């Protein structure tokens, strides 16, 4: 950590102006007036755009992935009705950040309050206020995945035990270290809009910006600088970001906006937000017969780019790593007057794991069999792969039992003697993870309006150094290093000779989904590996020509030094003849040598890679917890994770990714909940009210191990792991609490397990 990163607020721009958003303080209101006359007459003011001005300059954001029956209702930049507290209604631009804040406060909003519907229950109530004008109610359509109704009914009819629960998974904030931000510069001379943005997906942002601003794609360039975390919160264009760009165009100047932490709490989209009724049917000898679920998804005030996507993934992945005779789930989207929800690391799979593993743990308790034993009995075995689930996912490779047995073995330790007010319990849970989200044709079948392929552009420079371009971006996940490793290993050059350039729509290969859905390393890395192997072949062929021998008689020595002028990296022919990598590059650039491929003189490859199918990572987590029955406080005293992400490129980064994911998952298990009052106004607006895990909340001796079943779909055998760590902590911790205090196990269906919630359950059970 050297402090040399360049984040949005670090970027320099000549004559930059500063923006502040004017946001609705109410959850639901008609905007009757937006009086900016005081602000506009202030000499520090450069520009104010209210709803009417924005209506002239912008179109709504195009949405994607709608549910069947979901009304056409796009997110406006110009809002004449506020549908959530914190919704941006206008923008003020001034010569300093302080002036912009002062002048934004001077804008007089005249709001005509409408009744809020802050919760799923409120939004679905009989006389609920309509949130989407013209829609029949606040339901936003439904979709069902899985087995035919009669198969599910038959499986439940055969059951010896049915476990049914209602699960509540609250909204959470992503809490990236760096909030959102945009630096937009418009050059009236060239008509070019250059946007630096904390975006997970610069190409999609450009596409949406073009639609919103009515601009040509060749006139809009989006660049993602270093980004301090995102976790799904920066995947789509936001209205406030679009307003900053519209202001830059209007002014013909550079405008910067850096989101405050308070804004991030109520203006950035949230994650999760689901109420689900789910059942598990268990047959003879504890065989799982069927899962089914009905998911109510809290979409918030608008359907975002992801919209109901995460909840659909919950439905798609409910079955997890287990055999069943039938499985089905229905998702119903519901509008509420709260900030929209969207993608969050784990993308519906954490929710699915929580629901499934809780049902299994409850079944084990009711059957009085060890839960690990029940899981092992029902896991899909390695020799049964590939296996297609009832929702049409084809698991490619893995050994689910090996991971579960290993996690269980790691967690086995003699219990210490606890004081009488402490209960201790352990649980082991499992999940399969969709990774490498592609191929494009599969996305098309799900009605997703993006492509899944990734490109790579790889160039050997005249001095033998290497430049790699990719459309994925860096959000702190170390992807530059992992991609450099893939290129270096594929070419046979030292790592330090490779520079990786990411996230610039002018230079990067096209990428719609970019760094989302545990896909950057697998797909961009897969493309890069293909490009590197091709270039390595061309270098060898060139070298053979210079050495006067056949390519297959040439051996390549990898330089050991971090110095591109080092003579170590060389091709050896027969009879001791040799030529350095650098010299081959140098001559190659000049078109020297006996070259048959004169149409390809440049030492550059561009590869597009659309994999044949999804690839599935998997894992098992074990948690040991103590429950203080006096205070209700849950402490995680041990945590063991076994992951399989195929071939690991950089084990240290893999460890960090899984560890970070576990920490984030523990937060959702124990403390995180984005709450609003009855009027729908957020009450968690800072880290005082919204508790993310601190160092002392994560076990110091966190154990992370890896097993390896290579992907059969991705060159290199890589599988994704960006989200894997977050999938299981809520399930593991909650099941461990259930094991510690079986008297309250049946009530453990809602997160987070705060002391007050646990104590209420303990009290209801007569324990405290």
CB neighbourhood size of 95 (10 A) = 15
User: Which residue number, 232 or 490, has a Cβ lying nearer to ligand SMO?
Assistant: 232
Q: 265, 633, 114: which is closest to 423 by C-alpha?
A: 633
In the bound complex, what is the minimum distance in angstroms from residue 444's beta carbon to ligand SMO?
Answer: 18
Mark residues 463-502: x for contact with ligand SMO by CB under 6 A, - for none.
----------------------------------------
Paired residues of 300 in beta bridges: 335
The footprint of ligand SMO on residues 193-222 (CB under 6 A) is 200
Q: Which residue has the tokens 């439905």?
A: 315
Q: Which residue has the tokens 């601190």?
A: 694
In the bound complex, what is the minimum distance in angstroms from residue 521's beta carbon to ligand SMO?
Answer: 13
Pairing between β-strand 498-502 and β-strand 466-470 as defined by DSSP bridges: parallel
Residues 6+ apart with CB under 8 A from 429: 353, 357, 361, 375, 620, 621, 622, 728, 731, 732, 735
The answer to whether 235 contacts ligand SMO (rule: CB under 6 A) is: yes
User: Which residue number, 131 or 517, has a Cβ lying nearer to ligand SMO?
Assistant: 517
Q: Are 409 and 401 in contact (CB under 8 A)?
A: no
Residue nearest to ligand SMO (CB): 232
Distance CA 13, CA 11 (A): 7
Dihedral sign (CA 653, 655, 661, 664):
negative
In the bound complex, what is the minimum distance in angstroms from residue 399's beta carbon to ligand SMO?
Answer: 25
Interface residue with ligand SMO among 50, 88, 116, 232 (CB under 6 A) is 232
Distance CA 125, CA 190 (A): 54
CB neighbourhood size of 702 (10 A) = 17
In the bound complex, what is the minimum distance in angstroms from residue 199's beta carbon to ligand SMO?
Answer: 11
User: Which residue number, 298 or 628, has a Cβ lying nearer to ligand SMO?
Assistant: 298
The footprint of ligand SMO on residues 92-121 (CB under 6 A) is none
In the bound complex, what is the minimum distance in angstroms from residue 343's beta carbon to ligand SMO?
Answer: 4
The footprint of ligand SMO on residues 306-365 (CB under 6 A) is 343-345, 347
User: Which residue number, 159 or 666, has a Cβ lying nearer to ligand SMO?
Assistant: 666
In the bound complex, what is the minimum distance in angstroms from residue 345's beta carbon to ligand SMO?
Answer: 5
In the bound complex, what is the minimum distance in angstroms from residue 516's beta carbon to ligand SMO?
Answer: 4
User: Which residue number, 231 or 609, has a Cβ lying nearer to ligand SMO?
Assistant: 231
The footprint of ligand SMO on residues 517-556 (CB under 6 A) is 517
User: Which residue number, 646 or 661, has a Cβ lying nearer to ligand SMO?
Assistant: 661
Task: Determine whether 497 is exposed, middle or buried from the number of CB atoms within 10 Å of its CB (0-12, 13-18, 19+).
Answer: buried
User: Which residue number, 63 or 81, has a Cβ lying nearer to ligand SMO?
Assistant: 63
Distance CA 768, CA 765 (A): 8
In the bound complex, what is the minimum distance in angstroms from residue 306's beta carbon to ligand SMO?
Answer: 8
Distance CA 187, CA 270 (A): 34
Mark residues 247-286: x for contact with ligand SMO by CB under 6 A, - for none.
----------------------------------------
Q: 352, 344, 230: which is closest to 280 by C-alpha?
A: 352
Residues 6+ apart with CB under 8 A from 179: 198, 258, 259, 260, 261, 263, 264, 268
User: Which residue number, 364 or 674, has a Cβ lying nearer to ligand SMO?
Assistant: 674
CB neighbourhood size of 71 (10 A) = 16
In the bound complex, what is the minimum distance in angstroms from residue 201's beta carbon to ligand SMO?
Answer: 9
In the bound complex, what is the minimum distance in angstroms from residue 437's beta carbon to ligand SMO?
Answer: 7
User: Which residue number, 343 or 458, has a Cβ lying nearer to ligand SMO?
Assistant: 343
User: Which residue number, 347 or 616, has a Cβ lying nearer to ligand SMO?
Assistant: 347
In the bound complex, what is the minimum distance in angstroms from residue 205's beta carbon to ligand SMO?
Answer: 14
Residue 656 phi, psi dihedral angles, 5° rounding: -60, -40
In the bound complex, what is the minimum distance in angstroms from residue 347's beta carbon to ligand SMO?
Answer: 4
In the bound complex, what is the minimum distance in angstroms from residue 231's beta carbon to ligand SMO?
Answer: 6
Mark residues 504-523: x for contact with ligand SMO by CB under 6 A, - for none.
------------xx------
Distances (CA, A) of 634 to 440, 627, 670, 693, 758: 44, 5, 8, 13, 8
In the bound complex, what is the minimum distance in angstroms from residue 451's beta carbon to ligand SMO?
Answer: 15
User: Which residue number, 232 or 559, has a Cβ lying nearer to ligand SMO?
Assistant: 232
The answer to whether 65 contacts ligand SMO (rule: CB under 6 A) is: no
In the bound complex, what is the minimum distance in angstroms from residue 728's beta carbon to ligand SMO?
Answer: 16
User: Which residue number, 343 or 658, has a Cβ lying nearer to ligand SMO?
Assistant: 343
User: Which residue number, 322 or 718, has a Cβ lying nearer to ligand SMO?
Assistant: 718
Distance CA 127, CA 137 (A): 9
Q: Which residue has the tokens 């755009």?
A: 49
Distance CA 39, CA 53 (A): 15
Q: Report the alpha-carbon angle 274-82-121, nearest 5.
A: 30
Q: Which two tokens stand for residue 475?
A: 């959000």
The footprint of ligand SMO on residues 25-64 (CB under 6 A) is none
- Tell me the number of residues near ligand SMO by CB under 6 A: 9
3-state SS record for 631-677: CCCEEEEEEEEEEECECCCCHHHHHHHHHHHHHHHHHHHHCCCCCEC
Whether residue 439 has a cis bond before it, omega within 30° of 0: yes
User: Which residue number, 235 or 736, has a Cβ lying nearer to ligand SMO?
Assistant: 235
Pairing between β-strand 192-197 and β-strand 615-628 as defined by DSSP bridges: unpaired
Q: Which two tokens stand for residue 408?
A: 């269980």
User: Which residue number, 516 or 637, has a Cβ lying nearer to ligand SMO?
Assistant: 516
Q: Which residues bind ligand SMO (CB under 6 A)?
A: 200, 232, 235, 343-345, 347, 516-517
């Amino acid at each position: 950590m050297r402090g040399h990163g360049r984040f949005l607020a670090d970027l320099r721009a000549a004559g930059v102006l500063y923006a502040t958003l004017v946001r609705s303080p109410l959850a639901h209101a008609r905007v009757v007036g937006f009086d900016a006359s005081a602000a506009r007459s202030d000499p520090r003011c450069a520009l104010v755009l209210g709803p009417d001005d924005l209506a002239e300059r912008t179109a709504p954001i195009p949405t994607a992935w709608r549910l069947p029956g979901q009304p056409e209702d796009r997110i406006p930049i110009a809002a004449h009705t506020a549908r959530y507290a914190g919704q941006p209604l206008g923008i003020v631009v001034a010569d300093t950040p302080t002036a912009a804040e002062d002048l934004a406060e001077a804008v007089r909003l005249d709001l005509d309050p409408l009744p809020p519907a802050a919760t799923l229950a409120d939004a679905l109530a009989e006389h609920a206020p309509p949130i989407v004008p013209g829609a029949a109610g606040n339901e936003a359509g439904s979709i069902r995945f899985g087995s035919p109704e009669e198969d599910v009914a038959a499986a439940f009819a055969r059951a010896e035990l049915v476990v049914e629960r209602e699960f509540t998974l609250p909204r959470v904030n992503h809490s990236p270290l760096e909030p959102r931000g945009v630096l937009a510069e418009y050059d009236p001379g060239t008509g070019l809009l250059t946007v630096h943005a904390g975006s997970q997906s610069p190409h999609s942002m450009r596409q949406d910006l073009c639609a919103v601003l009515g601009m040509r794609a060749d006139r809009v360039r989006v660049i993602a600088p270093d980004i301090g975390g995102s976790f799904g919160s920066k995947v789509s264009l936001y209205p406030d970001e679009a307003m900053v760009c519209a202001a830059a165009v209007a002014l013909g100047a550079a405008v910067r906006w850096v989101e405050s932490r308070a804004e991030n709490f109520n203006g950035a989209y949230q994650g999760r937000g689901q109420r689900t009724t789910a059942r598990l049917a268990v047959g003879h000898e504890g065989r799982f017969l069927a899962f089914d679920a009905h998911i109510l998804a809290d979409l918030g005030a608008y359907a975002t780019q992801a919209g109901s996507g995460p909840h659909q993934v919950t439905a798609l992945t409910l079955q997890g790593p287990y055999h069943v005779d039938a499985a089905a789930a229905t998702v119903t989207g519901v509008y509420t007057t709260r900030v929209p929800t969207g993608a969050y690391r784990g993308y519906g799979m954490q929710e699915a794991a929580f629901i499934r593993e809780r049902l299994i743990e409850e079944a084990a308790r009711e059957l009085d069999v060890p839960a690990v034993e029940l899981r092992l009995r029902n896991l899909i075995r390695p020799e049964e792969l590939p296996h297609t689930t009832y929702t049409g996912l084809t698991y490619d490779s893995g050994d689910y039992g090996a991971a579960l047995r290993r996690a269980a073995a790691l967690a086995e330790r003699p219990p210490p003697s606890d004081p009488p007010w402490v209960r201790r319990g352990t649980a082991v849970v499992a999940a399969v993870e969709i990774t490498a989200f592609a191929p494009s044709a599969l996305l098309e079948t799900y009605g997703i309006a993006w492509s899944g392929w990734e490109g790579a552009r790889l160039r050997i420079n005249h001095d033998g150094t290497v430049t790699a371009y990719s459309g994925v971006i860096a959000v702190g996940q170390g992807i530059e290093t992992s991609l450099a490793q893939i290129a270096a290993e594929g070419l046979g050059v030292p790592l330090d000779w490779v520079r990786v350039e990411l996230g610039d729509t002018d230079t990067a290969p096209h990428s719609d989904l970019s760094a989302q859905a545990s896909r950057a390393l697998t797909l961009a890395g897969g493309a890069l590996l293909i490009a590197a192997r091709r270039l390595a072949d061309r270098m060898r062929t060139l070298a053979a020509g210079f050495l006067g021998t056949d390519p297959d008689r040439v051996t390549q020595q990898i330089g050991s030094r971090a110095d591109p002028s080092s003579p170590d990296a060389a091709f050896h022919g027969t009879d001791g003849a040799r030529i350095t990598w650098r010299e081959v590059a140098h001559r190659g650039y000049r078109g020297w040598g006996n070259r048959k491929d004169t149409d390809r003189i440049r030492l550059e490859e561009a590869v597009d890679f659309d994999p044949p199918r999804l690839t599935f990572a998997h894992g098992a987590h074990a948690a040991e917890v103590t429950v203080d029955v006096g205070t209700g406080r849950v402490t995680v005293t041990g945590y063991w994770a076994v992951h399989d992400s195929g071939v690991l490129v950089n084990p240290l980064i893999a460890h960090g990714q899984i560890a970070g994911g576990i920490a984030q998952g523990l937060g959702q298990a124990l403390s995180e909940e984005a709450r609003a009052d009855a009027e729908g106004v957020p009450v968690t607006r800072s880290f005082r009210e919204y508790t993310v895990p601190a160092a002392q909340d994560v076990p110091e001796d966190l154990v992370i191990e890896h097993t390896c079943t290579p992907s059969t779909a991705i060159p290199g055998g890589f599988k994704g792991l960006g989200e894997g760590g977050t999938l299981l902590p809520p399930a593991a911790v909650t099941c461990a609490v259930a094991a510690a205090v079986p008297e309250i196990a049946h009530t453990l269906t809602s997160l987070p397990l705060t002391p007050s919630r646990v104590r209420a359950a303990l009290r209801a059970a007569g324990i405290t």
